[in-house]
Amino acid sequence: MAAAKSTAGVLLAATLSLWGAVQYWDAESAYQRQSPDPYRIADQTARFAEFRAAVPANAILGYLTDVPAEDTLATSMFLAAQYTLAPRLLQKGDSFDAVLGNFTRPGDFASLGRQHGLRLEHDFGNGVVLFRREARP
């Protein structure tokens, strides 16, 4: 009799656990549909894939963007790039030998680079650009 009660208790606990997991899954799925990722953090892995392949893992990179520094989007873009490109280190500014350009819209990136003493090494598309510091005479 005690064994039957124990078995019934275990089955009840397993059933309730499974039911709770299904309820959680439904609630989380509904939340994700209602609250999509506004900064598209999850998409950055694909966006930076070619850049990651072109830059050594131990690189320390400068960082340029077309979003004003005081804008929340600028911070989100920087942190997403930093996370996606790790273990490479990003530092805001253009005083490094290699600089990541992370832009929200198309532009004349070569001209922008020259304004900062950089040459455009590679445009990876989708607003991702690699600049190199111009050789100093």
Count of C-beta atoms within a 10 Å radius of residue 17: 10
pLDDT tens-digit series, residues 116-131:
999 999 999 999 999 9
- The more confidently predicted of residues 100 and 24 is 100
Give whole-number Cα distances, 78 to 3, 44, 71, in Å: 60, 11, 11
Q: Are strands 60-65 and 89-92 parallel, antiparallel or unpaired?
A: parallel
pLDDT tens-digit series, residues 14-38:
898 999 899 989 888 887 777 777 6
Residue 39 has pLDDT above 70, yes or no: no
